[in-house]
Structure 1
Amino acid sequence: MDKNKKFWKGMLVAGAIFFSFQFTGQAHAAFGDTMLKTGMSGEDVKILQLELKELGYFSATATGYFGPITKEAVIRFQQVNGLSADGIVGRNTFQVLKKRMLQSDIVATAQQYIGVPYRWGGNSPSGFDCSGFSSYVFAQNGLTLPRVSADQYNAGVSVGKNQLEVGDLVFFTTYKPGPSHLGIYIGGGQFIHASSSKGVTISYLSNPYYTDRYIGAKRYF
């Protein structure tokens, strides 16, 4: 993970209300006082372009200049995410952008470990159990989870199955009553988890085995 992404992620996880930016020819200003918009340039615009590129909204070279192409990419991002599509990156757009980047990074981190074997009590790339896997992936992205599945289920914010977002934890009752298994939702009705029979793998929530045993989901960011 590069230095810029670590900075942005830390700011989101900390729940910071204000962000600080340095623009070419401008004084240091708090995020609540300064927006990114057409005509601006600098490192912060370049970071914006790179993040929009990673999320699939920006395909040009990241030059650090906020021109018409960047504005169009911002508008598309805003439209998809239910924001006011004005092409200006203010507080709400930044907050959603950082959340989408964190979601993308969690999925990318989790997918790196597909095929890692299951190990009871495991919480490292040498072997994972279900809660060890989720806590490890989240930790790599600046988020701390309780260690065991029951505690992970009891924390976080409950969300309905029809409201699932990427990065939510989905829980199942399997070998014992209560939340005995879990995975990380990655979109498209799929979740990634440490399966006792397959190791780290991707499964569908629509699989009858998991449909019958699904008990809820929790959101941590």
Structure 2
Amino acid sequence: MKKWITTTVLGSALLLSPVQAFANIGDQTLRPTMTHSDVKTLQTILRDKGYFTYSGSPTTYYGSYTKSAVVSFQRAKGLTADGIAGRNTFNKLGVYKVNNSYLVDYAKRYVGTPYKWGGTTPDGFDCSGYINYVFKNSHSIYLPRTVKDMWANTGYKVYSQAVGDLVFFETYEPGASHMGIYIGNGKFIHAGSSSGVTISEMDNSYWKPRYIGTKRL
């Protein structure tokens, strides 16, 4: 009985902990000659940034083309150019270790905060200022300041949403100009110019036709 109680308490603590570990891309250090599902994502990110030039489809094998691409990227970013993709390399690629449940819980604390053009504090947020604030203060992650830079340089593209993903929209100008955090059940949280920080439906009549894609960190 004592062993059961101890195990149950420990399990509950892990489930409730705000620093609970999640399996993020980059949690596994990737090395040459490895075979791992994350290698395919690594190759895709490097290809999007112009470093992975192999003409075939991404694979799960970490071969010479992948190592060469990683080395080139590491040199460009001032990292140790060892061809090993660890946490520092993934961070520079714009892919971070995120507890997505905690991220969303933290983001919800600011529902009702007014919109302010250029705003980056709880006195008032614009859409990218809000995202920056949430990631910085919940995870010490410093993202690019603008929506366009986050669309171009943060995370990797996915074709269905999961909790914690960044969702992007085309609104007042061509390309990505608005964004939010997907919170599940077809909803996202964002700083809207007419509503302040609020939760909206992805498929409502305004947002659905303006949606352009999702990035995962």
2:162 to 160, 165, 171: 165
Aligned: 1:181 with 2:178? yes
Aligned partner of 2:119 in structure 1 is 122
Aligned partner of 1:200 in structure 2 is 197
Which stretches of structure 1, 4 residues or more, deviate above 6 A after TM superposition? none
Aligned partner of 2:146 in structure 1 is 148
Residue segments in structure 2 that go unaligned for 5+ positions in a row = 19-95
Q: Deviations over 1:52-80 (max 9, x none)?
A: 1469xxxxxxxxxxxxxxxxxxxxxxxxx
Measure, in 2, the Cα distance between the counterparts of 1:47 and 1:214: 42
Measure, in 2, the Cα distance between the counterparts of 1:128 and 1:196: 9
User: Contact 1:190/1:204 (CA < 8 Å) preserved in 2?
Assistant: yes
What one-letter code is carried by the residue in structure 2 that aligns with 1:153? W
1:134 to 100, 118, 131: 131
Q: Deviations over 1:4-40 (max 9, x none)?
A: xxxxxxxxxxxxxxxxxxxxxxxxxxxxxxxxxxx69
- Evaluate the alpha carbon distance shift between residue 210 and residue 48 of structure 1 in structure 2; reply closer, same or farther with a 3 A threshold: same
- Evaluate the alpha carbon distance shift between residue 146 and residue 47 of structure 1 in structure 2; reply closer, same or farther with a 3 A threshold: farther
Aligned partner of 1:23 in structure 2 is none
TM-score by length of 2: 0.57
1:1-221 superposed matches below 5 A = 48-53=11-16, 102-142=99-139, 143-155=141-153, 156-160=155-159, 162=160, 164-220=161-217
Measure, in 2, the Cα distance between the counterparts of 1:104 and 1:186: 9
User: Contact 1:183/1:193 (CA < 8 Å) preserved in 2?
Assistant: yes
What one-letter code is carried by the residue in structure 2 that aligns with 1:157? Y
User: Contact 1:51/1:101 (CA < 8 Å) preserved in 2?
Assistant: no
Measure, in 2, the Cα distance between the counterparts of 1:131 and 1:176: 15
1:46 deviation in Å? Answer: 5.8
Residue segments in structure 1 that go unaligned for 5+ positions in a row = 1-38, 56-98
What is the root-mean-square deviation in Å for CA atoms of aligned residues? 2.9
Aligned pairs, number: 137
- Evaluate the alpha carbon distance shift between residue 45 and residue 206 of structure 1 in structure 2; reply closer, same or farther with a 3 A threshold: same
Identity %, equivalent residues: 48
TM-score by length of 1: 0.56
